[in-house]
Amino acid sequence: MKAQAAESRIEQLCVEHGLKMTGQRRVIARVLSEADDHPDVEELYRRALSLDSRISVATVYRTVRLLEEKGILERRDFGGGRARYEATEHGHHHYHLIDVDNGRVIEFEDPEAEELMRRMADRLGFEFVSLRLELFGKKKKQSASAATPHRKGETT
């Protein structure tokens, strides 16, 4: 594998957390940083293996566990029996809509939902700390004349 000049976002977080960055950890960090989906460990392994044939699935599992312990990655359970991962986003709030038919995850933002949850926490006597919102749904059946708006993260 050729060395790449710029560190990935996750590589930078690893260094900030004092982690030793081996070549294989760099590959895994880069794969995670470049993921625009929420891969499980097996998918991370497949992608990393295409960049470095020496990476073992055990190395990927250990690295993911370490990154999760350090707060660099967040584990998500979108159903389907496999944990999926994404980089921890501090200060950036987004939510997930999971298509129960095919497992596709659509990320979206909604400041109104967040404000509603802040008001709800306040009304119940709590200080709002964080919010995790995961919606599960099925694509609506449409008539040929109906059109739906395009949403962030959704491809046509």
Mean pLDDT, rounded, of the chain: 78
Q: What is the pLDDT, as a whole number, of residue 36?
A: 75
Return the pLDDT at 78.
65
Q: Which residue has the higher pLDDT, 154 or 48?
A: 48
pLDDT over 70 (residue 44)? yes
- Give the domain 95-137 fold: Dna Ligase; domain 1 (3.30.1490)
- For residue 37, give both structure tokens: 């989906």
pLDDT digits (tens, 9 = 90+) for 95-134: 778 788 877 777 777 888 888 888 999 999 999 877 777 7
Domain ranges of the chain: 9-87, 95-137
Q: Mean pLDDT, to the nearest integer, of 67-90?
A: 74
Q: Is the pLDDT of residue 145 over 70?
A: no
Does the domain spanning 9-87 belong to CATH 1.10.10.10?
yes
pLDDT in tens, 15-43: 888 888 888 888 988 888 887 777 788 88
